[in-house]
Amino acid sequence: MASHRKSRPVGTRVAGIRTPALATAALTSVALLSQSANAAPADDKPSLEEVEKKVDDLYRQAESATDNYNAAKEKTTKQRKQVDTLLEDVARRTQTLNEAREELGSFAAAQYRTGAAAPDTATFLLSDTPQDYFDQTQLMGRLTSRQKGAVDDYVSEQSATMKKRQEASQSLQTLTETQSDLKTAKATVQKKLADARELLSELTAQEKARLAEIEQRKQQEAARKAAELAQQQAAEKAAQEATAPQESTSTAPDSSYATKAAKALAFARAQIGKPYVWGATGPDSYDCSGLTQAAWKAAGVDLPRVTYDQVNAGTTVSLADAQPGDLVFFYDDISHVGLYIGNGMMIHAPKPGAYVREESIYYDGESGIHSVVRPA
């Protein structure tokens, strides 16, 4: 919430007593100096509303950075698997190549013993282009079809092995870059959370109590807005049933979604009370997108890991048409998500220091809601 503090008026009267002009000027100077001295600390210290807004902003920034961390972590995991697969493939191909090289070496040695040719076996074994070597020495014309096939296989395997080595090298480079991104994202999250904790630690016990009162008023307003939405949705549903009762069975095609949503919600409810931990996907703790991903996975639906991918993993619907199980996304950067349970309420993992809980979708004001998505 923005601060609306007013500046103090400055006057030239002291305790309501009239003074001569010179005395008045002197007293005015003293009063102004006194006010400046007393006001300086207050001006340096932000109001509780400003502290609350700053802390909330830092938590949102931390959550946005958490999404970047989650994306980098997921990419790093995939990249590491790809590197491992490529290295295993290179190892297998190198073994095959060594065996083929030994076989061709035996062919060259046999030709030398029979006098059919006198190839430089050492040069052949070290050659990067054995096909050219065989052609130059005209040895190919003296080999049997089996031996020629072995040469062709060797050349082909050597080319494939070199290609895989290049792929492995590139993949390792990409892995190094994604690991760097992961480290940066992690540092950003930790810095934002540390800044928020520092701001809160500077508050007195009285200020913390007043801040709790501000938060309580916000929650009361959020609950009021949720009740309004519930009444609106109920009225629209009643109007639809009254005007077109024969179409009331049109919800039948959505029964499969309702069944899946019920499973997702049952899972989410079972997680209530578990702590928010950035980057966590359960089972003991969650961040916001980790909770929604796990909930819908329990219903047999695979969601992407991060919020800005989850928002594209379904059909966007209006807030008035939101159904239990829908995903509610928040803020312009889509940095938070919750699982809608109906009546303007959701289950979500709010922020560091908090726990998975039921809460109004208006917990941070109506303007904080970005969109609603039906994932299945």
Contacts of 254 (CB under 8 A, 6+ apart): 323
Q: Annotated catalytic residue: which of 75, 336, 370, 374? A: 336
Structure tokens at 257: 């979604």
- Residue pointed to by tokens 């609306």: 4
Contacts of 143 (CB under 8 A, 6+ apart): 107, 111, 134, 151
Q: How far apart are CA 181 and CA 76, in angstroms?
A: 9
**Is 147 known to be catalytic?**
no
Please state whether the peptide bond connecting residue 119 to the residue before it is cis, i.e. omega within 30 degrees of 0.
Answer: no
Q: How far apart are CA 15 and CA 284, in angstroms?
A: 64
Q: How far apart are CA 359 and CA 362, in angstroms?
A: 8
Nearest residue to 340 via CA among 326, 350, 329, 330: 326
Nearest residue to 148 via CA among 140, 156, 158: 140
Let me know how long the chain is: 376
Q: How far apart are CA 243 and CA 239, in angstroms?
A: 6
Q: Annotated catalytic residue: which of 75, 348, 351, 374? A: 348
Characterise 181 by phi-psi region: left (phi > 0), alpha (psi -120 to 50), beta (else).
alpha
Q: Annotated catalytic residue: which of 97, 104, 264, 288? A: 288
Nearest residue to 339 via CA among 273, 279, 268, 275: 268
Structure tokens at 13: 């009267």
**Is 288 known to be catalytic?**
yes
Q: How far apart are CA 94 and CA 326, in angstroms?
A: 52
User: Phi, psi (5° rounding) for residue 275?
Assistant: -75, 150
**Is 247 known to be catalytic?**
no
Instruction: For CA atoms 201, 202, 206, 209, give the dihedral sign.
Output: negative
DSSP annotation string for 12-34: S-BTTB---HHHHHHHHHHHHHH
**What amino acid positions are annotated as catalytic residues?**
288, 336, 348
